[in-house]
Amino acid sequence: MSESLRAGYATLVVDDLPAARQSMRGALLAVHPDCSVAEVRDCAEARQWLAQADACQVAVIDIGLPDDSGLTLIPAILGRFPHARVLISTIYDDDQHLFSAIAAGAQGYLLKGQTAEVLVRHLREIEDGMPPLSPTIARRILRHFREQPAPLPQLEDESASELTPRETEVLSFIGRGLRVGEAARLMGLTDNTVAGYIKVLYRKLNICSRAEAALEAARRGLV
Amino acid sequence: MRSTGSPRFALFLRLALSAGIVALAVLQYHSWPSLPSTLYWWFAVLAAPWLALAAGVGCLARPGYWRNRWAALAGVGFVVFIGSAALMQIHPGTWPVALGLAAWMGGLCFAGAALCATLPLMRPTGRRWREALLLLIILAGGFAVPMLAPAWGRQWFLLLLLALVMTAMTLNPRSRRKVQWLALAGMAVWLALAVLVRHDASWPSLVPVLMLLLAMVIWLGHRAALQPVGCRAVIVPGVLWALLVVVLRYGFPVWPTWAVALLAGLLVAPAGWRGGLAYREQRWTEALQRLLNEMTGLDGAATHQARDAIWRRLLRRVYRPLNSMVVADAAAPTLDRGQLVLPTPFSDAGLRLTGRQPYRLSHQRLGATLLAWSGQMERGRTAYDRGVAAERQRIARDLHDDLGAALLSALAQADQPAARHAVQAAIAQMRTVVGGLAGEALSLEEVLAQLRHETAQRLDQAGIELDWPFDEDVLPHRLDYRYYKNYMSVFRELVSNAIRHGRPRRLSVRLERGIAGRLVTVIRDDGMGMAAERLGRGHGLSNLRTRMGEIDGDLYFSGEGGGTTAIVVFTPPPSPLAG
């Protein structure tokens, strides 16, 4: 990775289990051999690190941290480093754990308990613009957009509040348990195109949830 | 047919009240003989209501604000009217013009203002032409009847209007009560003047009674401000009766006092009856509210002691006993010489209550109902506790059977990759248990999607190809936790076996509809064809069969043509989605 060869390619791993941090460090180093890996145990330490960090390209966060939910770190990291890639590490790839993470701006997730090779492969896939999507999350996203009452006002991107027919199709295939490759074959597209749709879905969900939060805040008179 | 309680009918009657007041003002005709009678009639009957109507329309804009003012003006008008009329009656010939004018103006003022105060209330009911028509009929009657029958027509028309007004008084808008109380003030002034000025009263026995009554009413009125229902029950009928007696006495001076009082009593009776009913209802509602509050506390209390204490408090609230005594044996509520013995649902002891008055059969029945009620609550609580305990046991059993077994087998593995597989299986089991705890039945589609996704990942890691064709049809079933868990586990276990023992290049999964709505899952690997034999000997197969047995399913193996085919059959429960 030419990018990682640049000086100052910094990554952050937030996890309270030393073994999990260890394996994540290994995976990150395998993908970005020259990167620096900062390991912290909880949200407080992560915030401290963020306050003094100069750069952060990738952050891998565990959701269940001792002092707070790892989800609270996502906006903090993205606020400080807008181009950082925030990933969630989790045991389950179900919607309860991951939907709000994606909505908060996470760009992917890694399942714990995988072998080192699988972990590295998944990390690479995310880096290459192929974020993972489990059936439960796909269904949840589909439901989310279907139940959304009306296009949200104050949306940066008007089209973000609804799904295109292609995106809906991708979500329903993945929601039925198909892999990206299978969905691509059924739709007559390349794997990369379908992966691109998934990336767009991640982004749309994030944009919508931010717009919703802004709307909610305005409704409550916070802004 | 509308009930008399409907708002529109109330408005009709309120209009009648106003018209009646106009008619009263017309009665002042006698007080001002110098005016030509025809002109007087035209002015009183026609001009006043129309003036009032105009003012009423004007105040539609801000009803809340103006209504109060009109009501106040009506009160002042009534005081002036009735006061000057009284003075004229007592001292005929003293300032006839000034007093007559005052009475006349006061009456008009009261009538107009009362009309204005009530008119805005008409607005929401719509169909205003009906009210206008009624008003016209009343006015025409007020004009025509006395003309046609000068001897008695006016009095009887007045009586009719009063009857209408009395009925109106039994209805309950707030602004009307204001007018009532202002009318009472007018009455008081009139009577005070009568007592002060006139000593040789023609109704000597009446005035002290009325004064006493009014004093009582005013004293009660202070309390009534806090108790509207008490006001309706006691004070309003009292005031109405006094008012009626005075008005009838004034309108029919030749009638004997007893007849006047009786007639007034008869006219007021419905108001008293309705007020009494309302009062009773209010008391009953309050008692019920207290009772329900206490019962709710009974449900919320955690311990038997706390519930027992609440139960005792509940009985004290309901029965208000002078004395309550704990007794040893009380099986059912019983009456014992006016004392009530009630068992306690939460302890063995009962309570013997001594009341201010002997308790009756109805008290005993109420006690039985309360007992049944609390017994029901207690049973519900026990059932809930049992349910919670059963659920806990289920979780514990699942953790022990599924997760524990998987972890134990991981512990027993000699080599690391095998241990890793076992731990991953344990994690998958945990996920199933946790997923099932959410309590929602998953659709079969979701379960299959989850299985497909998971199987693809596992086979991918093991370098095995998955052949699971995509089926367009959506199966309309929902699996509750039991089905979900067992089917998932069996499926997973079969895939694990294929990966570990069969070492196939390819694993295919087919879902088919069997007979009688059975779901047939065929899992086939092209491996070494030994999974079945292995399974058959060990604990694994019996475990799988047990799991399928839990959902009335079956498991078959066939090893023809190399590889292993496992067939899982079960009937998914019927689903609301199917309809």
pLDDT digits (tens, 9 = 90+) for B474-505: 777 888 888 888 888 888 888 888 887 777 88
Q: In whole angstroms, what is the distance from residue B368 CA to residue B377 CA? A: 14
Q: Is residue B185 part of a domain?
A: no
| Chain B residues with beta carbon closer than 8 angstroms to that of A134 | 453
The confidence band for B351, taking pLDDT boundaries of 50, 70 and 90, is confident
Q: What ipTM did this prediction achieve?
A: 0.83
Using the beta-carbon criterion (under 8 Å), do B453 and A134 form an inter-chain contact? yes
Give the model's pLDDT for residue B129. 57
* Dihedral sign of CA atoms A217, A218, A220, A221 in order: positive
Do the Cβ atoms of A177 and B449 come within 8 Å? yes
Q: What distance in Å separates residue A66's CA from the closest CA in chain B? A: 20
Same domain, A143 and A122: no
Which residues of A fall within a CB distance of 8 Å from B484? Answer: none
Residues B136 and B1 in one domain: yes
Task: Find the angle CA(A151)-CA(A154)-CA(A155) to the nearest 5 degrees.
Answer: 65
CATH number at residue A150: 1.10.10.10
Q: What pLDDT does B24 receive? A: 52
One domain, residues A25 and A100 = yes
Give B501-519 pLDDT, tens digit per residue: 777 888 889 888 888 778 8
Mean pLDDT of B172-181: 46
Q: Give yes or no for residue B42 having a pLDDT over 80.
A: no
**Same structural domain for residues B285 and B333?**
no
CATH of the domain at A44: 3.40.50.2300
Q: Are residues B288 and B306 in the same domain?
A: no
Average confidence (pLDDT) over B7-33: 50
Domain boundary among A105, A127, A149: A127
Q: Is pLDDT larger for residue B307 or for residue B102? A: B307
What is the pLDDT, as a whole number, of residue B301? 75
Lowest mean pLDDT among B37-41, B265-269, B293-297: B37-41
Please check whether residues B287 and B301 belong to one and the same domain.
Answer: no
Angstrom distance (rounded) from CA B115 to CA B92: 30
- The answer on B92 and B160 residing in a single domain is yes
pLDDT at position B19? 54
**In terms of CA atoms, which chain A residue is nearest residue B460?**
A118
Q: Is residue B175 part of a domain?
A: no
- Listed residues A127, A147, A172: the one ending a domain: A127
Both A94 and A153 in one domain: the answer is: no
**A12 confidence band (pLDDT: 50, 70, 90):** very high
Q: pLDDT confidence of A11, banded at 50, 70, 90?
A: very high
Are residue B126 and residue B20 in the same domain, yes or no? yes
Assigned domain for B402 exists: no
pLDDT level of residue A152 (50, 70, 90 thresholds): low
pLDDT at B43 (0 to 100): 47
Q: Examine the domain organization and report whether A147 and A176 are in the same domain.
A: yes
Residues B522 and B545 placed together within one structural domain of the fold: yes
Same domain, B241 and B161: no
pLDDT above 90: percentage of residues in chain B: 0
Q: Do A152 and A117 share a structural domain?
A: no
Q: Do A134 and B456 touch (CB under 8 A)?
A: no
Residue A60 has φ and ψ, to the nearest 5°, of -115, 120
Is the domain of B144 the same as that of B2?
A: yes
- A135 neighbourhood in chain B, CB within 8 Å: 446, 449-450, 452-453
pLDDT in tens, B507-562: 889 888 888 778 888 888 887 655 555 555 555 677 788 888 888 888 888 776 66
- Does B261 fall in a domain? yes
Out of B343, B363, B384, pick the residue that ends a domain. B384
Residues of chain B contacting residue A175, judged by C-beta atoms under 8 Å apart: 449
Q: Based on the fold, state whether residues B207 and B242 are members of the same structural domain.
A: yes
Residue B238 within a domain: yes
Which of B241, B267, B295 represents a domain boundary (last residue)? B295
For residue B567, what is the domain's CATH number? 3.30.565.10
Q: Say if the Cβ atoms of A135 and B452 lie within 8 Å.
A: yes
Distance from CA of A179 to the nearest CA of B (A): 7
Q: Mean pLDDT lowest for which of A158-167, B114-123, B145-154, B323-332?
A: B114-123
Mark whether A72 and A142 lie in a shared domain.
Answer: no
Least confident of A111-120, B416-425, B453-462: B416-425
Looking at residue A6, its pLDDT comes to 46
Q: What are B92-121's pLDDT values in tens digits?
A: 666 767 776 776 666 666 655 655 555 544
Q: How many CB atoms lie within 10 A of CB A96?
A: 13
Whether A162 and A97 map to the same domain: the answer is no
Per-range mean pLDDT, top range of B17-21, B62-66, B360-364? B360-364
Considering only CB atoms, which chain A residues are within 8 Å of B461? 114-115, 118
Identify which of B160, B128, B127, B122 has the alpha carbon closest to the alpha carbon of residue B141: B160
Provide the number of structural domains found in chain B.
4
Domain boundary among A75, A110, A127: A127
B347: CB partners within 8 A, 6+ apart: B304, B308
Q: Which of B229, B264, B295 is the last residue of a domain?
A: B295
Q: Is residue B407 assigned to a domain?
A: no
d(CA B342, CA B203): 59
What is the arithmetic mean of pLDDT over A118-130? 88
Q: Is the pLDDT of residue B407 over 70?
A: yes
Spell out where B299-439 has E strands: 323-327, 334-336, 339-343, 350-354
Model pLDDT, residue B179: 43
Q: How far is A111 from chain B (nearest CA, A)?
A: 11
**Residue B338, SS3 per DSSP:** coil
Task: Quote the number of domains for chain A.
Answer: 2
**Mean pLDDT of the B441-468 span:** 86
- Please check whether residue B401 lies inside any domain of the structure: no
Same-domain check for residues B148 and B1: yes
Closest CA to A142 of A105, A168, A116, A177: A168
Choose among A91, A122, A65: nearest CA to B431: A91
The verdict on B455 and B353 lying in the same domain is no
A103 in the same domain as A193 = no
pLDDT value of position A163: 83
Do the domain assignments include residue B82? yes
Q: Sheet containing B506-513: which strands, arranged edge to edge?
A: B465-467, B506-513, B519-525, B564-570, B554-558
What pLDDT is recorded for position B58? 40
Same structural domain, A115 and A157: no
Structural domain harbouring B266: 200-295
Same domain, A96 and A189: no
Six-digit token string for B224? 């009534």
Give yes or no: residues A59 and A122 share one domain: yes
Query: Domain range spanning residue A202?
Result: 135-219
Residues A146 and A80 grouped into a single domain: no
- Shortest CA distance from B453: residue in chain A: A177
Q: What confidence tens digit (pLDDT) does each residue in B227-280 have?
A: 555 555 666 677 667 667 766 766 666 777 777 778 878 877 877 777 777 777
